[in-house]
Amino acid sequence: MAIRVLVIDDSASARAIIKEMLALDSEIEVVGSAPDAYVARDKILELRPDVLCLDVEMPRMDGITFLKKLMIYHPMPVVMVSSLTREGAKTTLEALASGAVDFVAKNHTHLYENEEQMARDLIAKVKQAARVRLFARKEPKRAFFDSSLPETTKKIIAIGASTGGTQALQGILGAMPPNCPGIVIVQHMPSGFTRAFAKRLDSLCEIEVREARSGDFVEIGTALIANGAYHMAIRRSGHRYFVELGEGEKVTGHKPSVDVLFNSVAEYAGVNALGIILTGMGADGARGMRQMRQAGARTIAQSEESCVVFGMPKVAIELGGVEEVVPLEAIPLRALEMIEEMSQR
């Protein structure tokens, strides 16, 4: 049975183009379209789509407000279609935090630019969205940890995430104390969004969160997020780690790649590292996590029941790279316990 999609965008031309793109795949059927949230509300009830493609800027009711209402009264998978602008990035991140499964970036001046790539992304993410499970939205619980954890630059936490990772990372980083080990993160996301994502997390967390630049040291109480345009790896200078950003082809289908980061952590940090692989489609990070474990690092995978998409963690488990499988809400505490165990050996 085809995946039934409703396209919501105030631009008639955008609706037509998105419909054409989705029509390229025989497993997807666009059952209707809507120019605003009010028309969309009626068409959702009438047409019962499986997935929504939702614009973020619309008249009468903006996409974020509509999304929040939808998740309360009629939760269903939503893929945002957002412009690569500063405000577009900020709004898209808010949408992901409000329950959207994923987003597809479009050029804000010309939708036909990079049309083939956008079509591939859109088709893949609509199919992916149709498979996800939605959870009841809850207020995050604040976690408190022992402030006497050892402060050492020798310990490092590396995290890889994809679909659903924006919310998962907010929960994990928001629970980290100011003296936690330095953290390096690859979240699959275009370069136009990673800086805004880091700023959003920084405003919500006790620790400092920022987009990484080549040469940045991995410091206690700081999380560095890879720029969406570059691979990120760690290197070591004496007892200090620093990050290096680089060009190159996609690895495991992605740039930045979790595998690139994890492989470098295995090489330069080894037994002083903790790796965490979170929700996401595909296999990026699975081989790198196996390398980390073989190098003596501790490793955690997010549990299936707490994942939006149990792809990356599943493959990492199958390859033998995972030491423990932990529900999302328990990862921060278990990670800090592991760090303490590492410091005592």
Please give the pLDDT value at position 288: 98
For the question of residue 188 being annotated catalytic, the response is: yes
Backbone region of residue 282 per phi and psi (left: phi > 0; alpha: psi in -120 to 50; beta: other values) = left
Please give the pLDDT value at position 154: 81
Q: Write out the H or E segment, with its range, that includes residue 280.
A: none
d(CA 162, CA 260): 15
Please give the pLDDT value at position 138: 40
The pLDDT of residue 114 is above 80: no
Please give the pLDDT value at position 88: 65
Percent of the chain with pLDDT over 90: 72
**Catalytic residue, candidates 188, 254, 259, 303:** 188
The pLDDT of residue 319 is above 90: yes
For the question of residue 74 being annotated catalytic, the response is: no
What pLDDT band is residue 240 in, cutting at 50, 70 and 90? Answer: confident
Please give the pLDDT value at position 153: 44
Burial environment of residue 168 by CB neighbours within 10 A (0 to 12, 13 to 18, 19 or more): buried
Task: Report the pLDDT averaged over residues 41-45.
Answer: 93
**Catalytic residue, candidates 55, 102, 259, 284:** 284
User: Which has more confidence, 151 or 99?
Assistant: 99
Task: Report the pLDDT averaged over residues 31-57.
Answer: 93
Task: Report the pLDDT averaged over residues 108-115.
Answer: 60
Task: Report the pLDDT averaged over residues 230-256.
Answer: 93
3-state secondary structure of 292: helix
**Catalytic residue, candidates 162, 264, 303, 306:** 162
* Neighbour tally for 111: CB within 10 Å: 20
Question: Mind giving me the DSSP string for 201-215?
Answer: HHHH-SSEEEE--TT
For the ranges 59-63, 86-90, 140-144, 167-171, the lowest mean pLDDT is seen at 140-144
d(CA 136, CA 291): 36
Percent of the chain with pLDDT over 70: 90
* Neighbour tally for 33: CB within 10 Å: 20
The pLDDT of residue 74 is above 90: no
Please give the pLDDT value at position 141: 35
> Domains, the chain, ranges and CATH?
3-131 (3.40.50.2300), 156-344 (3.40.50.180)
What pLDDT band is residue 321 in, cutting at 50, 70 and 90? Answer: very high
The pLDDT of residue 142 is above 60: no
User: Residues 75-100: pLDDT tens digits?
Assistant: 899 999 877 555 567 787 888 888 89
For the question of residue 110 being annotated catalytic, the response is: no
User: Residues 4-16: pLDDT tens digits?
Assistant: 999 999 999 999 9
